[in-house]
């Protein structure tokens, strides 16, 4: 194999490694996807005990790792969407 061929092969392998690394979630990406109870409580104006009730009744999915609770940001947003109430203003003469 010539030097030029080796350089091309190495370049191709480096590109593949770069692509593989870009597809792996970094800690920053994980922090943007997952929230702890304090973050969720602050964002929603709820206490951690209210979040506990939501977990127990199944309204808010969660993950528990070594006793720590985490919520997916998309699940919190979905809970808000599921409980969204649109007001029909035609019924109250507003």
Domain boundaries, the chain: 1-25, 36-85
Model confidence band, residue 8 (pLDDT cutoffs 50, 70, 90): confident
Which of 12-16, 28-32, 65-69 comes out lowest in average pLDDT?
28-32
Average pLDDT over residues 55-80: 95
Q: Copy the structure tokens of residue 18.
A: 């770069």
Nearest C-alpha neighbor of 76 from the set 64, 60, 88: 60
Give tens-digit pLDDT for 26-55. 666 767 899 999 999 999 999 999 999 999
Which of 15-19, 22-26, 86-90 comes out lowest in average pLDDT?
22-26
What is the C-alpha to C-alpha distance for residues 26 and 15, in angstroms, rounded to an integer? Answer: 18
């Amino acid at each position: 194999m010539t030097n030029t061929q080796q350089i091309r092969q190495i370049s191709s392998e480096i590109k593949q490694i770069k692509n593989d690394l870009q597809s792996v979630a970094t800690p920053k990406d994980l922090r943007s996807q997952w929230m702890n109870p304090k973050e969720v409580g602050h964002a929603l104006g709820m206490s951690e005990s209210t979040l506990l009730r939501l977990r127990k009744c199944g309204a808010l999915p969660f993950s528990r790792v070594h006793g720590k609770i985490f919520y997916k940001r998309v699940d919190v947003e979905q809970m808000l969407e599921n409980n969204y109430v649109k007001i029909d203003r035609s019924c109250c003469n507003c």
